[in-house]
Amino acid sequence: MPADVYYKYLKMRGDDAIFICGSDQHGTPIELAAVKKGVEPRILADEMHHVVKSLFEKYECTFTHYGKTHTDENKEVVYSVFNELFNNGYILEKEDMQAYCNIDKRFLPDRFIQGTCPYCHKRSARGDQCDSCGRLLEPAQVLDPFCAVCGKSDISFRKVKSLALELDKLQNEVKEFVKNNQKHNWSRDSVNKTLSMIKEGLKPRDITRNMRWGFQVPLAGYEDAVFYVWFDAVLGYIGITKEWNAKRWRDYWQNEHTQLVQFLGKDNTIFHTIMWPAMLIGSRLGFVLPYTIKESQFLVSKTVKFSKSHGIGLNMKTALEIVDPDYWRFALMSMYPENADSEFTDKGLAEVVNAIMNDKIGNLAQRVLKLSKSNSFLVEDKIPVGDSPSVKKITKEYCDSFDRLQLKKAIGSVVRLADIGNGIMSSKEPWVLAKKAKDDERIEKQAKKTFSELIAITYAIGVLLYPFTPKASAALLSFFGVRAEPTLKMLEDKVRPDLDNEPKPIFQKMTNSEIEKLKKYA
């Protein structure tokens, strides 16, 4: 969502921006789920992809392309980067032991092994982690292991060949990259984490393992191996751009002027600040490196249970049963955990929707438009929005925040503009001015000025809301006869509200029954 908000801002500014994202389809969880369901992993992964893609659409995320990683295009990118890394001497060949089920006649990567946790002794351990105590595990540590596919314990450990990326050989160049690019608004947390990991010394990291679902390793002797999901998932940024446009992808990825801005959660940072740049650097293919890493902290909640993968709890789908996407977009961006974890509460959501969106912004717009309609003699023909000192000041503040990727501050600027409008409402009382203006020319002049200022503010709110609440932005701007996608240039326009139509509210309050619905997820 923050990436979508930022992208919409770049479009408003008139940049040549593309917004690329997608589903990372490989990995053991999907293969295991597919084996259990008795379907091809590809079918299941594509099903999930379509579910997620359509949910993003509902939330008004306007990707240039939302693709996926299991495509021919991505495979070509993965193979070419791998081949260059191999030829350039950054790939280490080694031997490991991997579990093998003698009944299913297949290798068992992490989650395919289950058993007893060596720490808490619960029967909830998997080859990568214990679900009960949360500790990370290696497959060989699991006690009384059994195969997650057949449930039997006929498991042996076999010697396998595997490949690792020699991050140690690329360490100095990665460090150089971080030192150069961190000034482009990286958070201190992401820089510290990265530099401290580099200081400890980077070690080779596995890029292959023996399982079925994934891109087969194009090297003799590795017929049973596929690339590790992390390796082809990050390259998916390039592969998905290629999937979008086979002709233009290089214009962005192999262009020294491109600024690659990446949005991610803090649990994903080192993949984007260390592994991914190391792969790009080591390939020597001239791909752009991340310009900005926009890391976010976690949104946590004590009152509501969020669900990520199990379908239970509050998730992207169930959230739509409570309020419409615009409300979630605005509320979540108001709570955006930009620098520290932030807390989500049901009261907090209702507070943002009712006190800020409805009372401050929506009511102001509604009142200004209604007053203008009933006092049309005070509404000038062409109100120059750019002449309003409040609009000018707030727009500058808003753009400065966006340019520094401080999105929470940017949404705060929109609220501040509404505060200014509400302040004018209560100090100038335009409805009183309107009454007096009828027989006093001096007051009429003053009233016209006040109406112009309020109308300019209302129009500007309509423009500035666009990255956060595109639907409400369109609804508000439609009262000014604007149907086009908003741009910052529109803040220089001369406008007049359409006084023929009855102004409708752009936001509604959350009802008690909507607030009650959230309790279901307590």
| Residue closer to Zn ion, measured from CB, 120 or 140 | 120
CB of 222 to Zn ion, least distance (A): 23
| Residue closer to Zn ion, measured from CB, 152 or 519 | 152
Stretch that binds Zn ion, among 122-130, 220-228, 236-244, 376-384 (CB under 5 A): 122-130
| Residue closer to Zn ion, measured from CB, 136 or 340 | 136
Among 56, 79, 86, 119, binds Zn ion (CB under 5 A): 119
Q: How far apart are CA 51 and CA 105, in angstroms?
A: 33
State both tokens at 167: 């991050």
Q: Which residue has the tokens 């495979």?
A: 75
Bridge-based pairing state of the strands 106-107 and 113-116 = unpaired
CB of 160 to Zn ion, least distance (A): 17
Q: Provide the 3-class DSSP secondary structure of residue 406.
A: coil
The answer to whether 122 and 108 are in contact (CB under 8 A) is no
Q: Which amino acid is at 485?
A: E
| Residue closer to Zn ion, measured from CB, 122 or 504 | 122
Q: Provide the 3-class DSSP secondary structure of residue 125.
A: strand
| Residue closer to Zn ion, measured from CB, 17 or 133 | 133
Among 103, 246, 300, 355, binds Zn ion (CB under 5 A): 103
Residue numbers 212-251 binding Zn ion by CB under 5 A: none
Stretch that binds Zn ion, among 57-65, 126-134, 229-237, 433-441 (CB under 5 A): 126-134
Among 32, 91, 101, 137, binds Zn ion (CB under 5 A): 101
Please provide the DSSP assignment of 240-277 as one string: HHHHH-TTTHHHHHT-TT--EEEEEEGGGHHIIIIIHH
State both tokens at 446: 């003053």
Q: Binding pattern to Zn ion, positions 431-470, x when CB under 5 A?
A: ----------------------------------------
| Residue closer to Zn ion, measured from CB, 119 or 291 | 119
Count of residues interacting with Zn ion (CB under 5 A): 12
- Please name the helix (run of DSSP H) or strand (run of DSSP E) that holds residue 332, with its range, or none: helix 325-334
Give the Å distances, CA to CA, from 285 to 92, 235, 361: 20, 13, 49
Reported as half-sphere exposure (CB side, CA atoms, 13 A), residue 411 has a value of 20
Q: Binding pattern to Zn ion, positions 128-167, x when CB under 5 A?
A: --x-xx-------------x-xx-----------------
Q: How far apart are CA 198 and CA 176, in angstroms?
A: 11
State both tokens at 282: 């080591």
The C-alpha angle 391, 395, 401, rounded to 5 degrees, equals 150
Q: How far apart are CA 185 and CA 406, in angstroms?
A: 9
Residues comprising the chain, all counted: 522
Residue 488 touches Zn ion, criterion: CB under 5 A: no
| Residue closer to Zn ion, measured from CB, 113 or 456 | 113
CB of 267 to Zn ion, least distance (A): 20
CB of 137 to Zn ion, least distance (A): 8
| Residue closer to Zn ion, measured from CB, 155 or 474 | 155
Q: What does the radius of gyration of the chain's CA atoms come to, in whole angstroms?
A: 28
CB of 104 to Zn ion, least distance (A): 4
Stretch that binds Zn ion, among 123-131, 162-170, 332-340, 368-376 (CB under 5 A): 123-131
CB of 351 to Zn ion, least distance (A): 39
Among 60, 84, 96, 104, binds Zn ion (CB under 5 A): 104
Write the Ramachandran bin of 105: left for phi over 0, alpha for psi from -120 to 50, otherwise beta: left
CB of 155 to Zn ion, least distance (A): 8
CB of 29 to Zn ion, least distance (A): 17
CB of 289 to Zn ion, least distance (A): 39
What separation, in Å, do the N-terminal and C-terminal C-alpha atoms of the chain show? 24
State both tokens at 522: 């307590």
Stretch that binds Zn ion, among 117-125, 263-271, 351-359, 464-472 (CB under 5 A): 117-125
Among 3, 117, 424, 474, binds Zn ion (CB under 5 A): 117
The answer to whether 505 and 471 are in contact (CB under 8 A) is no
CB of 158 to Zn ion, least distance (A): 14
CB neighbours of 207 closer than 8 A, spacing ≥ 6? 82, 91, 163, 164, 165, 227, 228, 231
CB of 107 to Zn ion, least distance (A): 11
Q: Which amino acid is at 194?
A: T
| Residue closer to Zn ion, measured from CB, 118 or 386 | 118
Bridge-based pairing state of the strands 113-116 and 143-147 = antiparallel
Binding site for Zn ion (CB under 5 A): 101, 103-104, 117, 119-120, 130, 132-133, 147, 149-150
